[in-house]
Amino acid sequence: MQKIIKLIILFIFLFVIGIFYVSLTRDTNYNTSSLINKETPEFKIISFDESNIYTRNDIKKNTFTLINFWASWCAPCKIEHPILMKLSQTKNLVILGINFKDKEIQAKSFLNELGNPYDLLAKDENGKQSVRFGVYGIPESILINKNLMIIKKFVGPLSFEDYNNILKIIE
């Protein structure tokens, strides 16, 4: 009987240690793994000039689409802007910019000052549409293929490494 008690205590001890080890070494930062290789969600997003509504059908015809969430008040968006400008010159890629919780005048001024890399421009005034894409902060970018599958999601500003990765994928 005492042997069984000792074994149970040892098992509980090892179990608690195991739980602590797994919990402390686990990466609890939000990652995008749950979205990769999933189909692009249904969305209805109003164009920046309010003349049109963009849906999945608008990106279906593109070989690749990069959806970029940005705002004029977002400092890292300025950092990634030159990369978006470079990407706008590449073939096979349509960039859909979604202006996130921004003021129209300031957004326009941002694009006038730094250039407009977007083939399609939309706005998400209250951020509700962005939740469909798992966005929790900006800038974030999502690369989608013509089958509407999410290939890659970039959290934070696009880097030159990301730029090269995108080029490899789309060429």
Partner 1 sequence: MKLNLLIFIYIFIFFSKFTFAAENTVDPNQIHKNLRCLVCQGQSISDSNSDFAQTIKLVVKDLIDEGKTEEEIYSFMSDKYGDWIVFKPQFNIQNSLLWILPYIVLIFGGFFIFSFLKKRQ
Which residues would be at the binding site for partner 1 (CB under 8 A)? 1, 8, 28, 30-31, 33-35, 38, 41, 101, 126-128, 130-134, 136-137
Residue placing its CB nearer to partner 1 in the complex, 28 or 112 = 28
Residue placing its CB nearer to partner 1 in the complex, 11 or 160 = 11
Quickly list DSSP for 47-87.
BTTSS-EE-HHHHHTSSEEEEEEE-TT-HHHHHHHHHHHHH
Residue placing its CB nearer to partner 1 in the complex, 35 or 148 = 35
Residue placing its CB nearer to partner 1 in the complex, 91 or 128 = 128
Shortest Cβ distance from residue 6 to partner 1 (Å)?
13
Shortest Cβ distance from residue 145 to partner 1 (Å)?
20
Q: E-strand spans in the chain?
A: 45-46, 53-54, 64-70, 93-100, 120-124, 140-145, 150-155
Shortest Cβ distance from residue 32 to partner 1 (Å)?
8
- Number of helical (H) and strand (E) elements in the chain, helices listed first: 6, 7
* Burial classification of residue 35, based on how many CB atoms lie within 10 Å of its CB (0-12 exposed, 13-18 middle, 19 or more buried): middle
User: What is the phi/psi pair of residue 61, to 5°?
Assistant: -80, -10
Shortest Cβ distance from residue 30 to partner 1 (Å)?
5
Decide: helix, strand or coil at residue 44: coil
Residue placing its CB nearer to partner 1 in the complex, 74 or 94 = 74
Shortest Cβ distance from residue 23 to partner 1 (Å)?
12
